[in-house]
């Protein structure tokens, strides 16, 4: 399995919009991506603009399907103006 951790900083005052977009994305991932095991957004307790996605995919094909999906691409277009900078994305082998 492949794990992804994406660190996101949202622009001041845009957190509610970001969480709404991500809520819709999570619903789409769960409904349409059988190769996705986990897709969870968490927010830092000490900084409401700091988030992380925790993602787990059964294999490389599932991860690639996620990145190519229309719902992911549409959410990316909606999220882009809400971010304070580029996401930091790390890939791991799940043990």
Beta carbons of 4 and 87 less than 8 angstroms apart:
no
- Convert the pLDDT of each residue in 27-69 to its tens digit: 999 999 999 999 999 999 999 999 999 999 999 999 999 999 9
Write down the pLDDT at residue 95: 92
Domain residue ranges in the chain: 2-93
CATH 3.30.70.100 is the classification of domain 2-93 = yes
Q: Output the pTM of the full model.
A: 0.92
Write down the pLDDT at residue 87: 96
pLDDT confidence tier of residue 80, bands split at 50, 70 and 90: very high
Give mean pLDDT, residues 67-95.
96
Mean pLDDT of the chain: 97
């Amino acid at each position: 399995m492949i794990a992804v951790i994406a660190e996101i900083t949202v622009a001041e005052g845009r957190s509610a919009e970001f969480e709404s977009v991500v809520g819709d994305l999570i619903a789409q991932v769960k409904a349409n991506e059988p190769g996705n095991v986990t897709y969870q957004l968490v927010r830092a307790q000490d900084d409401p603009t700091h988030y992380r996605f925790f993602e787990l995919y059964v294999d490389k094909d599932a991860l690639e399907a996620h990145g190519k999906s229309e719902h992911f691409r549409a959410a990316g277009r909606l999220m882009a103006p809400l971010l304070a900078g580029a996401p930091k994305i790390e890939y791991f082998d799940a043990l």
